[in-house]
Structure 1
Amino acid sequence: MAGSRRPRARLSRNGGRAGASTSRWRLSRRWKRVIAVGGGFFAVCVALVAGLVVYGALTLPDINSIGQKTGTIRLVDVHGTVLAEVGHDATNRHNVTIDQIAPILQQATVAAEDRNFYNEGAINPARILKALVDDVILHRPAEGASTITQQLAKQAFFGTDASKSPLRKVREALLANQLDSKYTKQQILEQYLNINYYGENAYGIENASMAYFGKHAKGLTLMEASLLAGLPQAPSYNDPYNNPDAAYARMHYVLGSLVAVGNIKQADADAVDPLVGGSSPTPEQQTAQQTNQQALHADLQNGKPNTAGPAPHFVAYIQDQLQQIFGATDPQYLQGDLVVTTTLDLATENLANTAVAKGVAKLLSSGANNGALLMINAHTGAIEAMVGSASFTNNAIAGQYNIVTASRRPGSSFKPYVYEAGFKNGTLKPDTILQDTRAQSQKYGGVTDFDSRFLGPMTAARALTLSRNVATEQAADKAGIQNVIDLAYGMGISEKLTPQEPNLSTAIGTSAVRMIDHASAYAAFANGGHKVVANGILKITDGAGNVIRDYSTPANLGDVLTSQQAWTITSILRGYAKQWNLHFRYDTAGKSGTTDHFIDAWYMTYTPDWVVATWTGHTSGSNSAEQGMNQVFGTATGAAIAVPFVNSLSKPSAFKPVTGALSDCSQSDSALVSPSGCPTPSPSPSVTATPSSSPTPTASPSPSFTLPAVTPTPTPTPSIAPTPTAAPPAATAARREEVAVAERRRAG
């Protein structure tokens, strides 16, 4: 009907709007179920957390027992003989009051570790949340979430319990709250500074001040305080004696923190900062860096080490390993009762100490004042002896600096990796002819040998035995320098800690390695190709005798060489000692190395049972720059240290030739090359031979020319030239070996 209004549709349950309402009603019910389930889950979580908190509160240690959970870590050798006891109970820890601690040290600690310490409670929720996001969600290293109060609770009450269990964290938070309620901030800081571990077996800031700088904590300067305040984060890693670069970086951070919170001015920081200017310093800042580093290094020589003992460098090494096992940034493992059974044999260690001390004394007139030795089991990597310096307590030679774990250039002791890479990929054989010629030298930028001579074409076996630089660079060129580097990495040289430069000079040892890695890599030559890694711990037990870590069965790391490939190198290196007139009692394989200006002199030797690495040099406690020696070659190190040490050991297993090796040179005792490319066989050295007492034993010269006279210059030149085709002489140990002087390199 026109003009009439259409009736409004009636809402019904089954149609139109009624249906839409029903749909919304059903959706609402679904969400109600979700909310109900979620609520129930939340209630369960709350109940669990509440129960955890209640249980944690009921089982808390007595707050009045703070600092008493400070047990002893006993280190024993493989036979159970005690090497050292470390930890609060075995240390004359000297607590001091807060007024006996330099204010700048207090400020540096707070600035570096907990800038809101004086304004926050026992815990900092914002830092905890950020750490959780970094660690759990973003999977990146988290910044420390703990306040100083929490760290005090953790170190004082939980000993070696390095777990991150919810119950442990609850107890830690509850104890931190109790501490915060009972003590003032200054009292908390005082207890924290007295319980902290600072490395070098120094517990508490007073002991640390004496250990590093020979002074009381009250007298610490800005430079000293900024170093010490950075140590508790990772005391062994940041140790300024063993890892100065890490110590400098941490100190730079602490100084920056002090500037950021307004405790000092930037000019004050720059006056002591070993890394002033950061990663992009101006020339003026580079000069300031060197000045500040030298001042810090000189100041550190005033320190008074807390312990020496029969194997101090090894003990420090094991402490560092324990930190890695229980948490590199958490030193609390040192505060419980542990027994660490190590791989060291104290009797062998004593022999090694004697060999290094007497060997360095022999070479003292030639400028050597320091030495080192490492012996590992060729099959397991177990460290049987470790001497990191000639005298741990001698600050004049920076005796606490551990050469075994330091990065140093290996010189020609690196060359076996070059030839092995070529033998492995088929680009070289022992009888491959290489060119020790002027033309080849010029092709590679002018590399020369110690004698500035060229001996002409020679086999690869002879080039390795005579350690010729030009021929070795050609060998690396043929094998492919990256193949050489990759093999070295695969055998044990650390790519992370000592990256090798991809140029031919690396083939003759111009890139640094660590002795501990170098020995591990040589073990593959000794044991027939199996990879091992040097290690020092067999097992760790707690105070109740429970084994909490067991390393008695080394991990199977596989083979990096075939037995034939390993034997090809060994058969050549067995003739090295004879060639250089080194009088080992036993049949050994070996290789020497000497670096530019005679700064590093190495001798590596091995049998099927063990690898022994030795080194001599001139270190100084007042000058961080290395000083060269006077014609101390790697073979002189071999004669002075390696020979007496090896000759003091029990007879090792005999080498067993491997069928199928390239041009088997198993009887090589001479560098006179046969038509096959292998040295002419001759009888093995007598096991009753007595080593010469001289570090430069006399050898019979070849009739082809006269041996050069000794000269004081570090770049010796023979007095007459041999003809290119003349047979090489049997040279003296201190003269005919390649030298790093012989490794003068072109730029780049």
Structure 2
Amino acid sequence: MPTYKKSRQTARTKKPPPPERRWSLGRLLSRLFLILFLVGLVAAGGISYYIYYHFSRDLPDYTSLKDFRPNLITRIYARDGQLMGEYFMEKRIIVPYTRLPQHLILAFLAAEDARFFEHTGVDFLGIVRAFIENVKAGEIVQGGSTITQQVVKSILLSSEKSFSRKLREAILAYRIDNYLTKEEVLYLYLNHIYLGNGAYGVEAAALEYFGKHVEDLNLAEAAMLAGLPKAPTRYAPTNNPLRAKERQTYVLNRMVEEGFVEPAEAQAALNQALTFKTSRQPGFDYVGYYTEYVRQLLEERYGRDPLYKAGFRVYTAADIELHRAAQEAVNQGLKDLYRRHGFRGPLKRLSAKEIDSFCLQQVKYQQKHPPLKGQLQTAVVVQPEKGRNCLVVRFGNEYGFLVQNPAPAPGMKVSEASNIVSRLRLGDVIQVRLQQKASGRQKWLVSVDPDPTAQGALVYVENHTGKVRVIMGGKDYRDSVFNRATQAKRQPGSAFKPIIYATAVEKGYGPGSTLLDEPISLPGGRRGELWTPKNYDNRYSGPISLATALARSRNIPTVRLLMSVGLPPVINLAKAMGLTTQIYPNYSSALGASEVSLFELTRAYSVFPNQGQLAAPILIERLEDRDGRILEEAEPHSRPAISQRTAQIMTELLVGVVTRGTGQKVLALRRPIGGKTGTTNNTRDAWFIGFTPSVTAGVWVGMDDERSLGAKETGSQAAAPIFIRFMQEALKNQPLEEFPSLPATLFASGRDRGVDDEASDDEAEEEEYDNPDEEAQAAVRPRPAINPNFFKKDLGE
């Protein structure tokens, strides 16, 4: 049947069903792994994106590196360009990339990041290599951070050890590598990195360790610096020379491995002996008082942060050689003072119970300022040394041997030093000079300082320009930073008298005006009693000329002169001449009872030879910022303080003090000099301030604790010799200058009867002018009458 056949045919032609597919275990696992891989890849991508997004959200602005301005040193220079001081938070000196020698760059690359020019900020191969090397060595000898990452850590991030910081560091390093050139990154790195001993950057380190600029470093020195970043303090050559040598060897070997140098070059560098020295100039200590005063001025004007961070370049008027001469003159004067009076005994004596507390007070200071060879230390005698002919002294937690026959201090003989030691007892507080560490024991050998509290100060200025060339505030800045020239306020004694005489001249007095040298009593003494001033010699001469009264530094005529002119005019004139301290409104000011600083009184004297003009003091001549822009530049400026006539008369009078009065010792300079001595009660202070037509110098000598300098230690005895020694150096190459309008005969010696060179300001015998011309002038000069109402007028009653 057709239908049947068709159906059969259809059945026969129908394809059989495909065989049942069976999954093998291997195929199943491979498919599963592929799926998991894809899922993991997606997850990793997502996590990576999340991590990148999370840790890059608050990253610092890396583009600021283009204009990065690190902290720099403020450097202070003397008038001749010599470096005389530095102030900084980070001791850094920026140098351009072009000044960096190739072997220095290669040394740092070999030590820190040999593939620096190949990677993109993060060196994964370097990380693997460092890991392998550290495993081999059993300690961390290599780091995985690139130079770019170190720049990020030191400038943009912190040194925190955490996984998140490392991720942020890597992200920034990659971005910076694509933003800055390799040379720019190296410039930042080599100028910013810390290299020990307070030095930041390769230039500061080169100066600190080798005393030379970075471009002058040889391969051996460059390799030594390149070994420091790992642990700057530990490997600093001045601290640990053996470890520093090990690091230098490592750096040189790495340079050979990387093909940066030939083996022979590396071996030669390794064998080279290195000399370590600092760039600190010997003159730093001479000008310490001047530099510190400049620092104070800068901090007042600009604040502390700019001073220590902005990298100012300060060009001053200071003269280093004159500072050296000033210190030598002051120290010689103090040695002479000691020879005249000997050892004055201990500063004080402590009981046995007080010794520990006294020394413990010194410990905190010594933690910041450890004792160093050559320093002066306040110490207390704690015991005799058994079996040895010496004493043991203690300062803080340190001990020293004060031997019976020590190397004597300057100005002492061995026998004198031995005598001092034999006089000391338990609990005596003395000052000692640290000589050296005792061999084999952590104790010092020390010598006694014979006159520890005796101090001197000296100031030297140019009259016309106001430039301050010398500020010597003590015998040694290393021993005491207190500036006795600017900070100390001491009674000037007779050195204040020229202010009173200048006031009188302004009111019409002249050199020949007559003053009365007779006893006087005034209200204002102690316990309501009368104040009765006296001359030093308790003698009185009756009427004498104003010139003689000043030349012989007589007290009573000066007090009477102050009564005549009045206190307010004297106080006003003192202010006009630059004195800022308070002048006491009483008649004892005639004898220098009001306290002044040496700096201000010296400037006041400069008015006389400067035709009555007070020049503004110039210490900073020019101030530049880090880019060389001038922030300030001083121009000489002066203002009238007294009339020209008064200045000329006062110059004549003060020249007379030198030629025929208490300042005759200064004639040893053999040139026209004017000046005035000064001595206070009980010879606590000795002064001499003198001038030529061009310059003025002031000297003060005294004890820090205001004890007496000793009998007859007057301005002529203690201060004038220092003035002479200093001025011999300061003026030795200067031409001889005459004061304007002064007759040459004024400097002739022998016409006037002189005074004893050892006499004090108030010991000299009075004497009238011997010059007939001067006597004639005295006859016509006015003698203002004393106002009968001066008590009410001057005392404000």
What's the TM-score, normalizing by structure 1? Answer: 0.49
Tell me which protein shows more strand as a share of its residues. Answer: 2
Bigger radius of gyration among the two: 2
